[in-house]
Amino acid sequence: MHKRVRVLGCLLLVAVFSLVVISRVRAAGDAAQAVRDADMAWSKAASASDLDRIVSFYADDATLLSPNAPVVKGKDAIRKEWDGIMKGFGKTLHWQPTKVEAAKSGEIGYSTGWYEGTFTPPNGKPVKDKGKYLEVWKKQADGKWKCVADMYSSDMAGQ
């Protein structure tokens, strides 16, 4: 009888452990898909030059690391930076995630990929730019995913 109870106890423990592992794997997969979806919607907002929508993808305390520029912190400063970016790129800027992963907890994730667009500097000739990016995303208390750290750099020499 005691042996049978132990075996049943072990089987129950294995079953519970398996369910926990499966739920964590599913949470990470769901989170990665949510990050990918948010990143793609963000790219569409940039292609539409929708500054309010672009900024809405950032957490209030987010950090933006643009090339050849000081660190930008917080939504107000990020809005100002993006206003300048959009004035240069217009509706040509877009990006595509190539790798998206999330922690098993389903609370944080990251996205890497490429971007491209044509930048027109004031009083200058248009320059086609392409490069790569890294974004760190965090699930907020309301369940929405927001970018907490955003970094990009050009692949073009001298950009």
- pLDDT of 60 > 60? The answer is yes
Within 10 A of 102 (CB to CB), how many other CB atoms are there? Answer: 24
Note the pLDDT of residue 124: 85
- For residue 100, the cross-strand partners are 111
Note the pLDDT of residue 132: 98
Q: What is the pLDDT of residues 24-47, one digit of tens each?
A: 444 567 999 999 999 999 999 999
Complete DSSP assignment for 75-100 = HHHHHHHHHHHHHHHGGG-EEEEEEE
- pLDDT of 8 > 90? The answer is no
Query: For 15-32, what is the mean pLDDT?
Result: 53
**Sheet with 94-102, edge to edge strand ranges:** 72-73, 58-65, 145-154, 127-139, 108-119, 94-102
Note the pLDDT of residue 23: 40
Which of helix, strand or coil describes residue 147? strand
Give me the CATH topology for the region 2-154.
Nuclear Transport Factor 2; Chain: A, (3.10.450)
Integer angstrom CA distances of residue 28 from 42, 101, 120, 127: 21, 8, 40, 39
DSSP symbol at 136: E
The pairing of strands 108-119 and 94-102 is antiparallel
Note the pLDDT of residue 157: 73
- pLDDT of 16 > 50? The answer is no
Whose CA is closest to 73, among 59, 61, 55?
A: 61
Integer angstrom CA distances of residue 25 from 2, 11, 28, 79, 106: 34, 21, 5, 35, 9
Whose CA is closest to 120, among 71, 84, 68?
A: 84
Residue 73's pLDDT band (boundaries 50, 70, 90)?
very high
- pLDDT of 51 > 50? The answer is yes
- pLDDT of 143 > 50? The answer is yes
Domain boundaries, the chain: 2-154
Mean pLDDT, the chain, integer:
86
- pLDDT of 12 > 70? The answer is no
- pLDDT of 1 > 90? The answer is no
Note the pLDDT of residue 158: 63
Task: Please give the share of the chain, as a percent, with pLDDT higher than 70.
Answer: 81
pTM of the complete model: 0.80
